[in-house]
C-alpha cells in the first residue's frame, strides 16, 4: 500500500554505516519532511548496555534487544542472520551483556566463490542430504547445515552462561532457512529489528 509522507508520524533509523547516516538523515528531511530519530548512545532504548564500550554496540543489536525485552522478556539469546550472524545476550533484568559476531552466510558464500575458481555460485537453500553427491549440494550442505551447527554450538554456550530458561529468538533475512534445521531456535521473529525500532521511537516521544 502506498503511504503519503503526510501520513507519517515519525521516522526512526538504525545505521551501522556511520559515513552514510548523515545522507539518510538529509534524505528523510528532504523527501519525508521528518527528521529521523537515529538510534545512538543518547537515545532511550529500555535496554541497559553492559558492553565495555556501549557506543561500539551496533544499533541493530540494540533494537533487537529492545524488542525482545518488550515482547518476550529475558533471559534471551537473539540470533540475527544478517550481513553478519550475531548472537546477543540479554538478561531478565534488561541488561544487554554483549555477544558474538560471526560472518554472515551470504558473505561466507561470496568469499568461497571468489577464492575458489572451480566452485560455482549456488542458491542458498536446503540440500536433500548432509552428504552432498554433487558440488552444488555439497556447498549448500556446508552453508546450511554448517551454520545450523554453529548456531547450536553457540546457543549451548550462551545458555550455560545466561542460565536455564534462556529463550532463543531468530531474526534476519536467512533466519527461516537455518531455523528449520535446528531445534534450538524457539521463536522466529523476522521483523524483530523493525519492532525494536518502533519500540525505541515510542519511548522517545
What is the chain's Cα-based Rg?
19
Q: Whose CA is closest to 32, among 10, 14, 17?
A: 10
Q: Does 14 share its domain with 50?
A: no
At 49 the pLDDT is 93
At 181 the pLDDT is 93
Q: Whose CA is closest to 129, among 113, 112, 145?
A: 145
Q: Does 48 share its domain with 74?
A: yes
Paired with 172 in beta bridges are 81
CA pair distance 64, 1, nearest whole angstrom? 26
Q: Does 83 share its domain with 126?
A: yes
Beta-strand ranges (E) seen in the chain are: 12-13, 37-38, 48-49, 76-81, 84-90, 95-103, 167-172, 187-188
| 79 neighbors 86 (Cβ within 8 angstroms) | yes
Q: Provide the domain count of the chain.
A: 2
pLDDT per residue of the chain (205 residues) written in tens, 0 to 9: 577 777 888 999 988 888 999 999 999 999 888 899 999 888 999 999 999 998 889 899 999 999 999 999 999 999 999 889 999 999 999 999 999 999 998 888 888 888 887 788 888 899 999 999 999 999 999 999 999 999 999 999 999 999 989 999 999 988 999 988 999 999 999 999 999 999 999 999 9
Q: Does 8 share its domain with 49?
A: no
Does the annotation count 60 as an active-site position?
Answer: yes
Tell the burial category of 24 from Cβ atoms under 10 Å away from its Cβ (0-12, 13-18, 19+): middle
Q: Does 184 share its domain with 110?
A: yes
Q: Does 33 share its domain with 99?
A: no
Q: Are strands 95-103 and 84-90 parallel, antiparallel or unpaired?
A: antiparallel
At 15 the pLDDT is 87
Query: Residue 101: helix, strand or coil by DSSP?
Result: strand
Q: Does 53 share its domain with 27?
A: no
Cell triple for residue 102?
Answer: 560471526
Q: Does 177 share its domain with 89?
A: yes
Q: Does 173 share its domain with 150?
A: yes
Q: Does 191 share its domain with 138?
A: yes
Is the peptide bond prior to 76 cis by the omega test (within 30 degrees of 0)?
A: no
CA pair distance 62, 126, nearest whole angstrom? 30
Question: Could you tell me the residue range of the domain that residue 88 belongs to?
Answer: 44-203
pTM given for the model: 0.88
- Select which of 60, 64, 80, 95 is catalytic: 60
- Which CATH number does the domain housing residue 152 bear? 3.30.420.40
DSSP string over 146-170: HHHHHHHHHHHHHHHHH-TT-EEEE
Q: Does 25 share its domain with 74?
A: no
At 132 the pLDDT is 94
Q: Does 175 share its domain with 76?
A: yes
CA pair distance 85, 98, nearest whole angstrom? 14
Amino acid at each position: 500500500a502506498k503511504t503519503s509522507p503526510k501520513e507519517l508520524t515519525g521516522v526512526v533509523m538504525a545505521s551501522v554505516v556511520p559515513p552514510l547516516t548523515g545522507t539518510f538523515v538529509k534524505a528523510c528531511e528532504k523527501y519525508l519532511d521528518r527528521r529521523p530519530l537515529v538510534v545512538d548512545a543518547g537515545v532511550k532504548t529500555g535496554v541497559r548496555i553492559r558492553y565495555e564500550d556501549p557506543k561500539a554496540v551496533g544499533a541493530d543489536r540494540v533494537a533487537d534487544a529492545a524488542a525482545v525485552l518488550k515482547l518476550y522478556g529475558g533471559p534471551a539469546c537473539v540470533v540475527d542472520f544478517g550481513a553478519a550472524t550475531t548472537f546477543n545476550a540479554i538478561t531478565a533484568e534488561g541488561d544487554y551483556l554483549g555477544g558474538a559476531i560471526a560472518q554472515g552466510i551470504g558473505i561466507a558464500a561470496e568469499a568461497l566463490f571468489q577464492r575458489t575458481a572451480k566452485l560455482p555460485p549456488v542458491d542458498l537453500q536446503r540440500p536433500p542430504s548432509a552428504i552432498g553427491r554433487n558440488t552444488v549440494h555439497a556447498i549448500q550442505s556446508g552453508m546450511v547445515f554448517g551454520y545450523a551447527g554453529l548456531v547450536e554450538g553457540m546457543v549451548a554456550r550462551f545458555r550455560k552462561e545466561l542460565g536455564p530458561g534462556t529463550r532463543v529468538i531468530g531474526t534476519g533475512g536467512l533466519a527461516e532457512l537455518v531455523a528449520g534445521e535446528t531445534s534450538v531456535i524457539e521463536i522466529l521473529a523476522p521483523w524483530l529489528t523493525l519492532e525494536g525500532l518502533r519500540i525505541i521511537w515510542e519511548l522517545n516521544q
